[in-house]
Every structure is written in structure tokens, then in C-alpha cells.
Structure 1
Amino acid sequence: MHAGEFEAVRGVPDLYVHDTGMFDTDEYGAVYVYDAERPIVIDTGTGANREALFETLDEIGIGREELAWILPTHAHLDHAGGAGHLAERYPNAEVRVPEKGVRHLVDPGALVAGTKSAVQDQWEHYDEPAPVPEDRIAGLAEDDRIDLGDRELVVHEAPGHAPHHAIYHDPDADVVFAADAAGIYVPAVDGIEPTTPPPQFDLDQCLADVRTIEGLDPDRVCFGHFGPRAYEPELAGEIKRAYVEWVEAIREKREELGDDDAVVEHFEAAAKRDVDFWNPERARANASLNVRGVLAYLDYVAENDGE
């Protein structure tokens, strides 16, 4: 699959995955479209390539008056940046997002500033988000339901990646929309890449989020990047191990080098050299973001040890 294309998700009737072409990398940005009685878009991409998503919805047969729901998994702009643009085009669609993300989509100014600071020159791959009108959006909490008419999605809070993150479970189709709660499954290397952005990544909570998925034991997991894959029980262990080893590697390198900038530079260089499933500049930027998130987490743990 290439940028702007979509395909059916194997084993899940009426579900499609759309490739946003995010960061000039095929399949990196996954948007899910459920052509249910009350159709839904799960995640939106950055909004930069929204016209291609509109075309996908047209080809699936979801008209501008028919889309019922726009459902970001969390407020980060690579997942929710297009929400306001979708709301403008689809006037009957209601936007739902975990409660702590609502304010960011209604007034995205602070989120844009934080994202620009975090991603720096990678901002060229984003688009200025359109605000979501307050009367079109509401927050979600644990065990809330999204009514799709012929099925429903169950909300499970998953704040390890970010406080405004949730996963969505369709118990009938036995599919989980995990977004970033389970890391990034990269088919090219058949492995999990942790995603640990600042400022509020929490390892303990992240591991708890993976246990939530483990408890649901779905047939299929729809990742926010590189699309869906079948779920096997051993996958949860792989995810947890990847996160623990990543955090430990950064902790050890910090002890060795004694300088956080040097730690970031070390992992940036390693990513540009060793990671070849996206462009080198994106690999460097992603490593920088994830290392800084872990360093902030380690600082938080040190400051709150014993409380």
C-alpha cells in the first residue's frame, strides 16, 4: 500500500485502513474507516494529506452527510491533526476524544506550539489544525461506548503514551485500535519500536496499557503506524520487553555519558545509521523525540522516588 491508498483489513468486515503517507513513508500513518451503519473514522493523520482521505471515504461510499463519528485515539497531531478539517467537511460527524484531549482540539494553539518545539524541522510534514467547534466534540472515559448502529466500540483509557490516550475495542469483531499504546509494529523488521514522547510518557502505565490489550486478547490489533496485524499472546510480551529494554538502554547511556544532550546525539546517530524503514532524517527526529521522553520520565521517577 502506498500514500493515499486504502485496503480492507483482513478478517474484519467493513473495516478499511488508509495510508496517509505521513513523513514521506508508505504505511507510516494509518487511519481506519469503519463503514458501519453509523460510519466512523478512527484517527485522522496530521491533516496535511486530508484530500486523499476524503477521496478514500468517497470511494468506500461514505457521503458527506453520512459520516457519524470522528474518533482520534489521542490528541497528538499525527493522530488528531485532521479532526477539525474532517469536522468541516462532514457536518453531521461528532468528534470524540479522551477527555484530557478535548481542550487541545477545541483550541490547538498550545498543542501546535509544543509539537513544533518537539519535532522542529519535521513540522514541514504537518498542517495547521482547524479548531473543532465546542458543540461538536465531547470527552470519553473508561468503559464509554461509541454507537456505530450495528456494533459498538468500547473505550479503555491508556495514558502511558500520553494522558489523553485511549484504545478502542470492537468486541464483536474482536479488534483493538491500539494507536500508540502498543508501540509501533514495523513489518519491515517484524518488531516493535517503542514510542516514548515527552513530556508525559510513563513506563509503568505504558506496561499497564499493554496488559489491558493482553486481557482483551483480540484477534487483531490496529496500530496507529504501519497498519494492522494479527494478535498472538506472545506479542504483548514482545511489546513490554521492547519498552523496558529501551528505557534501560537510555538510563545506562545517561549514566555513562553524564550529559543529556550527548545521550540524545548518541541515539540520533544510531537511528540514522541503523534504521532504514523510514527516511534518515525522520529516523533521527523520532529517536530524538523518544529519548527526550524517556529522560523526562527518568527525571520524574527520581523526583518522586519514595512518595
Structure 2
Amino acid sequence: MELSKVTSAGSEDLYCLDVELYGSPQYGAVYILDAERPAVVDSGTGRNYEWILEALAELDIAPEELEVIAPTHVHLDHAGGVGYLAEACPNADVYVYESGAQFLVDPTQIWAGTKEVVGDRIEYYAEPRPVDEDRIVELDDGDTVDLGDHALDVHHAPGHAFHQAVFYDPANDGVFTADAAGINVPNRPGVRQTSPPPGFDLEGCLADVEMLDDLDPGALYYGHFGGSETDGLLAEYATVIQEWVDRVEAKRNELDDDEAVVEYFAEQVETDSPWSAQHARGEERMNTRGVLHYLDNRE
């Protein structure tokens, strides 16, 4: 377990926990905001949810003192541990964008869909536990979760998934990006695409980037992975995601075989990042299938 303080753009009271998603360091982040009303943003897959409790203890936040659990969306790499964490933190409510709430109350469908999408990487997940409906606070675009000396302003960001929202904290001038700003690979320049099936929509993703750019945050808190100064990363991601879709479409036109397209990109992926080779190739397969699904729907 590695817990680090986030200081990007002068951020305060914010900590990033590396939950080693898919067995890879520096890929899956859970954030703890040590506010007057303490909050956890995202939860990981549930496999290592005890690490969140250990991190809270390290910050002298008792389980019963946690007040807010805020998954950015209900994909299980971000929300799989919500039910476990809610059980362990009896006074915390779960704040989630309204269209995702049903999947936390009854996670059967999202669990089945996740197993289909991630394939053999399901070994890194725990079957999600349901959240009592009376502990869920449904959020809408424009809402604010009041944390006392901090806040989470809610902005719907459906390009990656229809149930995704990003949270902007005015006190820190930072935004929890979920998957709306791509993937930040530590110690590597730039950002990478994230385009899983079935929810990926290119035009929606570009609109989300424009929305984030309008917020003009000083810091981006990536779900994958870590805090960063914003600099030109949003404009870069708009280019990255458009070019990624163009590459997949061109390769589909060349090969005329979707599985061959998927394997082509999996074999091309670089494996010298902090991620494991299994994870890097699995990520590329998933993202390629997401683009192919998008192209089918577009046509």
C-alpha cells in the first residue's frame, strides 16, 4: 500500500492511494480528501478495499468518521469496492451520478458485464456487494457535495460512460477526472486513451474535454493515475483520442477482421511502463474493442 500527498497546483488535504489495480503499480487511484466532512473518491475493484481503511487510519480518520463515498462512475475499477467500504464505514453516504445508482443497489448486471469485458483480468476484482438504497444520494449535473472546507461540484461527463461524472473542488482548483481526461502513465510523457465498450463515444469524449477545459482547473486528479498540473494535457487528450479512433478505423479497413485488429494493437503496445505486460495488452484489447463498438454504432 502506498499513500502519497497530492500537491499539484497547491492542492491541500488530498491524498492518493495506489490500489495496484490489475497487479500493476501506478494504474488505479483512490483519493482521500481530509476535509471537515472526510470523503473518499472512487474505491478500486474491492479486492484491496482494506487498504483504503488502512489509509484512512494513517490519516487518523476512523471508519465511522468517513462521511462521503463518491465514485465517479460505476465501472468496477472505480466503484467495485463501494459496497465493501460502505459496510465498513457505517456513517458514510454514497454519492453517485443518478444514472449509475441502480448498479450499486443491484450490481448483478455490472458484474456480468465486467466479466465479459475484462476477460481473464477478472481475477483482480472482487464480486461487488450491494449498497443499501437508503444510503445512496443521487447526483445530477450542477449539484455540489458540501464537505465543509472543500466541495465536490458535479459535472456530467458521459463520453466514457453514460453514468460518469467528474468532481471539481474549488478550494483546490482541481478536478477528479475519472476517465474523462485519459490515462496518465507516471514517468511517461503525455496521456493515453481510454475507450472501453460498450459506453465509449468519441463525440461525447471530445465534449467532456471541452467541458473540463472550460472549468480551467489548475490540477487534474487522474483515476489512472495521480495528480498533475493541467498544463496542456486536456488539449493533448482531445488529439490523442481522435487519432486513436482514426488508427483503429484505418486498421479495420485494412484487415477486415475485428479480432485481427484487436490482436494487432495488443501486440503493438509498449510494455516498458510500470504496468505488467498482461495488463498493458489487456488494456489495449479492451480499448480497441470499445472503438470498434463505437464505429458499429456510428454506422
TM-score bracket, normalised by the shorter chain, equals: over 0.9
Distance 1:296 1:138 in 2: 32
Where does the alignment leave 5 or more consecutive residues of structure 2 unmatched?
none
Per chain length, whose mean CA-contact separation is higher, i.e. which structure has more relative contact order (CA < 8 Å, sep 6+)?
A: 2
Distance 2:130 2:147 in 1: 24
TM-score by length of 2: 0.97
Distance 2:166 2:109 in 1: 24
Please point out which of 1, 4, 13 is paired with 1:7.
4
Which amino acid in the other structure matches residue 299 of structure 1?
D
Which amino acid in the other structure matches residue 248 of structure 2?
I
Q: For residues 114-125 of structure 1, what are the structure 2 equivalents within 5 Å?
A: 114-125=113-124
Other-structure match for 1:253: 251
Which amino acid in the other structure matches residue 25 of structure 1?
S
Where does the alignment leave 5 or more consecutive residues of structure 1 unmatched?
303-307
Distance 1:276 1:135 in 2: 46
Which amino acid in the other structure matches residue 243 of structure 1?
I
Which amino acid in the other structure matches residue 159 of structure 1?
P
Other-structure match for 2:271: 275
Which amino acid in the other structure matches residue 250 of structure 1?
V
Q: What per-residue deviation string (whole Å, max 9, x for no partner) do you get for residues 209-233 of structure 1?
A: 011111111111000012110111x
TM-score by length of 1: 0.95
Contact (CA 8 Å) 2:80, 2:128: kept in 1 or not?
yes
Instruction: Judge which range, 109-118 or 277-286, deviates more.
Output: 277-286
Distance 2:187 2:170 in 1: 29
The secondary structure found in structure 2 opposite 1:65 is helix
Q: For residues 132-143 of structure 1, what are the structure 2 equivalents within 5 Å?
A: 132-143=131-142
Q: What per-residue deviation string (whole Å, max 9, x for no partner) do you get for residues 13-52 of structure 1?
A: 1111111011111121110000101000000001101111
Other-structure match for 2:291: 294
Q: What per-residue deviation string (whole Å, max 9, x for no partner) do you get for residues 245-280 of structure 1?
A: 100000000000011111111111112xx2322111
Q: For residues 1-307 of structure 1, what are the structure 2 equivalents within 5 Å?
A: 4-10=1-7, 11-232=10-231, 234-271=232-269, 274-277=270-273, 278-302=275-299
- Once the two structures are TM-superposed, the CA of residue 187 in structure 1 deviates from its matched residue by 2.2
Number of aligned residues:
296
The secondary structure found in structure 1 opposite 2:145 is strand
Instruction: Judge which range, 60-69 or 160-169, deviates more.
Output: 60-69
Other-structure match for 1:305: none
Contact (CA 8 Å) 2:159, 2:201: kept in 1 or not?
yes
Stretches (4+) displaced over 6 A: none
- Once the two structures are TM-superposed, the CA of residue 191 in structure 1 deviates from its matched residue by 1.6
